[in-house]
């Protein structure tokens, strides 16, 4: 399906943990100021959220993917990478694995980021607030491209993102649910998914060394003391 309205869509159900994926082809051409988002979010004030945000760019500039994690309404955990392909030329698969132990962001099955459960370090982790899956296409030219210096050129509208292969393999729950009734019985909840395997760690290191352009864990201007959750990620 294609989103042309600038609004978006959401899943009917809410989920506690699972694997969520979508094939997306981003808007082409000069898309400065335009953000395409694919994310999970709860609906209360102290919400949890797991974000893919594709930041629009001027024609010829590399595409930037920003990820973020909110826990208990607290975000400011941005990481940004350059994508190693043009995401407007073909569909690519963007996935989120979320269980009690970790959140992993994947691009074409390559892990680009992990967020480990660090509750023992005093960091909230999404575990008891069901989330819906959303996607949206919207104008964010106050911040999205070069910090808001590049504005949306509306002469290039409409901006069209295309979607297919929407897949959820998760624990569906009501918004009042406090735990996942199937915990321990789903493939994404097994022992081997409590951490990345050796090949996945190798690929994540490649992304961090070659494609990462911002990581809040290493930003000592914003965070003079490294956030506690960053210590849990051994390669942060």
Q: Which residues are catalytic?
A: 49, 53
How far is 94 from 219, CA to CA, in rounded Å? Answer: 26
Token pair 């624990």: residue: 171
For CA atoms 234, 232, 227, 222, the dihedral sign is positive
Cα angle for residues 189, 193, 195 (degrees, 5° grid) = 135
């Amino acid at each position: 399906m294609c989103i042309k309205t600038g609004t978006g869509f959401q899943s009917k159900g809410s989920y506690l943990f699972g694997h969520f994926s979508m094939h997306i082809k981003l808007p082409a051409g000069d898309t400065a100021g335009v953000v395409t988002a694919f994310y999970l979010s709860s609906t209360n004030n102290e919400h949890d959220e797991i974000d893919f945000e594709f930041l629009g760019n001027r024609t010829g500039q590399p595409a930037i993917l920003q990820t973020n994690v909110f826990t208990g309404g607290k975000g400011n955990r941005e990481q940004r990478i350059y994508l190693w392909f043009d995401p407007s030329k073909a569909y690519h698969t963007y996935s989120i694995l979320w269980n009690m132990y970790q959140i992993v962001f994947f691009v074409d099955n390559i892990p680009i980021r992990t967020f480990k459960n660090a509750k023992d370090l005093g960091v909230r982790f999404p575990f008891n607030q069901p989330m819906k899956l959303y996607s949206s296409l919207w104008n964010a030219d106050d911040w999205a491209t070069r910090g808001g210096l590049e504005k949306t050129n509306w002469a290039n509208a409409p901006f069209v993102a295309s979607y297919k292969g929407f897949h959820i393999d998760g624990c569906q729950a009501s918004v009042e649910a406090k735990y996942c009734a199937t915990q321990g019985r789903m493939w994404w909840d097994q022992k081997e998914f409590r951490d990345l395997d050796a090949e996945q760690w190798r690929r994540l290191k490649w992304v961090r060394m070659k494609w990462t352009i911002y990581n809040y864990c290493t930003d000592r201007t914003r965070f003079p003391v490294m956030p506690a959750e960053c210590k849990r990620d051994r390669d942060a």
